[in-house]
């Protein structure tokens, strides 16, 4: 083995090591993959759809789809209430600070409720409100894992 071979080996190995570190950095700090489990976000997402999350975002808007931690699992939900707002459901209608908000999907049998978020808190709901374990039981959340960048439908892979 001559000096050229050693130099080439070191360069090739360095490329692989740098690539591995870049991938690890992206997974830990920038983006992650989350699979939809269950039907709480139906009809928007179906069971086993795949989401790519932006973990660097720290600003969220109403109706963003986010992932939150709950015990040892991750839940996919939609932000309904922003910090310092009163969220109310009355007769299957959403009200934010007393103003009716139009939603693009139809829900029935949603129990009436009212929650008020504090500074730094968000109120989240699943799109399939009749089966979703969400802010109605959890209350407001103050930590978001990431916001959905894009997604892949399970049906696309059949």
Residues identified as active-site: 40, 77
* Integer CA distances (angstroms), 27 to 55, 56, 84, in order: 9, 11, 32
Phi, psi of 47 (to 5 degrees): -55, 130
**Residue 125 Cα to chain centre, angstroms:** 11
User: Which H or E element spans position 32?
Assistant: strand 31-35
d(Cα 107, Cα 46) in Å, to the nearest integer? 17
d(Cα 58, Cα 66) in Å, to the nearest integer? 11
């Amino acid at each position: 083995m001559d000096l050229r071979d050693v130099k080439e080996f070191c360069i090739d190995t360095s490329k692989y090591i740098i690539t591995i570190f870049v991938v690890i950095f992206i997974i830990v700090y920038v983006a992650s993959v989350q699979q939809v489990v269950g039907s709480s976000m139906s009809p928007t997402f179906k069971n086993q759809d795949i989401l790519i999350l932006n973990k660097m975002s720290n600003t969220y808007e109403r109706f963003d789809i986010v992932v939150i931690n709950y015990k040892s699992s991750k839940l996919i939900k939609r932000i309904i209430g922003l910090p310092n707002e009163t969220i109310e459901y009355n007769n299957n209608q959403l009200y934010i600070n007393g103003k009716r908000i139009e939603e693009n999907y139809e829900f029935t049998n949603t129990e009436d409720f009212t929650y008020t978020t504090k500074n730094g808190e968000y109120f989240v709901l699943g799109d399939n409100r009749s089966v979703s374990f969400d802010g109605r039981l959890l209350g407001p959340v103050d930590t978001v894992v990431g916001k959905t960048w894009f997604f892949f439908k399970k049906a696309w892979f059949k």
